[in-house]
Structure 1
Amino acid sequence: MSPAPADPLGRWININGDGGIVRYVGPVDGGSGTWLGVEWTDTERGKHNGSKDGKQYFKCKGTNPKCASFIRCVDRIDWGQTLIEAARSRYIVEIPEICAHLPQAIDGRRGKIEAVGFEKIAREQSDLSALQVLGLDSLKVYGLGTAASVLANVKTLLLSRNYLTGWRQVKEILEALPNVDILDISGNHFDSPLFSGGEDGDLSVGTLRIDSSPGLTWLDVCGIAERVHARCLSFGWSELSLLPVVSLDLLEDLSLEYNHISDILPLSHLPRLRSLNLRGNAELTGIPEIQGHMFSCLESLNLGYTGISSWRSVNNLGTLPLLRRLYLGYTPVVSAGDDSVSRALVIGRLANISKLDGTLISAEERTEMERYYLVLSMDDGSEFPRLPELLAKHGAPRRPAVVEAKIKSRLVSVTIQVVRGPNVVSETAKSLLKSMLVRQLKPIVMRLAGAREFQLYVNNDDLWVLLDCDTRSLDFYGVENDKVIRAVLQ
């Protein structure tokens, strides 16, 4: 833990588990010496909003009238540590200490085997100059520190949930670590506005993650992305709702998961945007008509768990010339009916997509789904685009019962169980394609289980068979109607 800084203004502090940012440093009427005015994250910790006895000493970002208080600069304040201190504490272990715990021999099939080389491995892992991935999440890092040039080879820098509060701290770190190409500064304590003007040096970071940062605006985050020439940007879980139009000419991959976005048009003019993830934005209920050069490079679009509720919105996606991958799972428009019908209605509308909800669309499936789409459109063609094109391609639709039977023959109805220890946590009935690969099933199970670590089994003749190869189909493992697939949490 670092000593009290010479200039504590703007620093994040922690006292006995209560965190806050220093908004004021100076005298207070009626008290002697220097005081710190702190805005706390826990509003029950404070006594006022920066005003005392009718005098306004500082302003708080929060609106609670009791989110701040004055404190003395005392020893129990945790000011955090520098990046280089955190790196040394996490990665450097004294060699004599390591050697004292190393095994002298390992049990082998034919007796004891002499253990050689462990000390060398320990030395290499403690060499900061050789590190390319530096993970310092939740280590109270507030800034760079001295002698950080030893970390110049780092390419991936993970600094989420630390004590960073401003752009200046991030800039100093990037200038000292010029090879960083992946930077994660999510969950820190940044304030808006983040910039006060001025230009920065030649900084370059390919992938930038600033998730869980509700204190920042879209303009703040775009300002960081522009300064580091980011190609990939993630700004999720940050209560974002307003999207002023910005110019990010280099941005190719954008993730804005679980915010409050209701309009995507402000993003439509990003000239190189290839992948857009809007998963979890429940306020997004429709896709407007797309014209001209809007989303001209977009290849992948994730609308899962949004509020998309009309087929007209899906129709509008058909004008995106390069769209190949689309996620619509758990939206009102596809959740209202049968899975096979919804899939046919999406594939029939969108001629160019090759993957829907994580599952590849084979040539055979496209033909079947387009024919099914024609059957569904027989009664009313007003809401069914592509009808002339598909009639010319496939001819008049066959009897609905024949087509539906063929579609359903490709599906299996299974029960997916989520199991933790001896207990079945949940059961869900699902219709799956027999041709679905194991790796395509896993994202579905992740959503149901709320976890990433699990093993999949299918019950065949009272035996639980492990689905052990991601590139094999469910059909290979004998997944049929009424089978149980079990996800065992680890």
Structure 2
Amino acid sequence: MSDTLPSDVIGRRVEVNGEYATVCFSGPIPSVAGLWLGVEWDNPERGKHDGSHEGTEYFKCRHPTGGSFIRPNKVNFGVDFLTAIKNCYEPDDDGKEHIVIIGNKPVETVGFDSIIKQQSQLTNLKEVSLRNRAVSYAGEKGGIAKACQNIRVLDLSKNLLSSWDEVICIALQLKHLEILNLRSSTLPLGGQSLRSCTSVQIGFAFQKGCKTSMFQSLQYLLADDNQISHWSCINELDKLQSLHTLSCQRNPLTEGNKKAQITRQFIIARISQLKTLNRCEILPEERRGAELDYQKAFGNEWIKAGGHQDPDKNRPNEDFVAAHPRYQFLCQKYGAPEDGELKIQQPCILKNQLLTLRIKCPNQLEQKVIEKQLPDSMTVQKVKGLLSRLLKVPVSELQLSYESPKMPGREIGLENDLQSLQFYSVENGDCLLVRW
């Protein structure tokens, strides 16, 4: 049994006392102390509920008694993705087969279609694991039997696919695909577009900048340990209409601890519908901060390309729009960046990093409003420490938020003690609100 959680715990196949399950939830449950895993059992009679606890749904099961909450130290994670289900007929809730192809040993280089054809007698193939099976190409167009087009989970990790075109060719025939695992699959995932496939003639086209009908059901994409090195790839993912969870760690684009936070912000800003990135939830405050920082970071480039604060004169060139397809939308959402925000900062000079902030205590009417200059790199935790000494209140009792003149009537919480004021897009002239 395991005492620590794998980094990719959601979706992992696990074993508990000889019974197999899939992890669908990981985290705290407010009414019960500690960390819990929510699992859906292969055998629904093993479970107790449908993924809900005290009226809150933490995950969803196909069967009303198919789920359980389990402590992590009771779970064996030494089970490959989906390989615990044997390659045999298993009744599904609709009376049809629900089959998983197991593979964890390399075979000779093969096409995806040739493996799937072997399962053409199955009437409702839903989950397929072809991990480390030396799949290198998609195969013939239309080579996937109709019986296999209901696949919802596909594991192609540790295969030999060298082109995004091959993945697209597979996806065109799997219209119900919800989870795609491409970890360690040697894909460059570079500048290729979801609007065209050079090596696969698929006869597909859609309007520039619109969502694509390709991968129309895909919700989870796992692309860790590949060769993602171009922002154009991230831009293309914004076209996937159902994608809400992305994992893309240990790629050239995301390497380097110093730039990790900036890279995360840019990915969030470029993919509008993303809710979880690298197993961390994207809260509304983080999305807002990421999009505003992204606007500022490329504001000067936007102006040089023909961008303008006057909507009638705002006509950035095609190269800029291609590199930053969401930038114009962000200008409509937040307003065009102001000249003062576009000045190149000099991080070596402390005065250029200081924010003049008003500090107000809404629940303490006798407390006067204070004005302080704080570095934008200062963490929420350090701000609390400063205010604790200033106000003579224990750090543990302080709750911080802020108001901005740009968004009257809206209050934004500073909930993560380890993040900086800059992370939350706190700006000069904003008001910190302190409660205890």
Q: TM-score range by the shorter chain?
A: 0.3 to 0.5
**When the two structures are superposed, what TM-score results if normalisation uses the length of structure 1?**
0.41
Of structures 1 and 2, the one scoring higher in RCO (CA 8 A, sep 6+) is 2
Q: Give the TM-score taking structure 2 as reference length.
A: 0.46
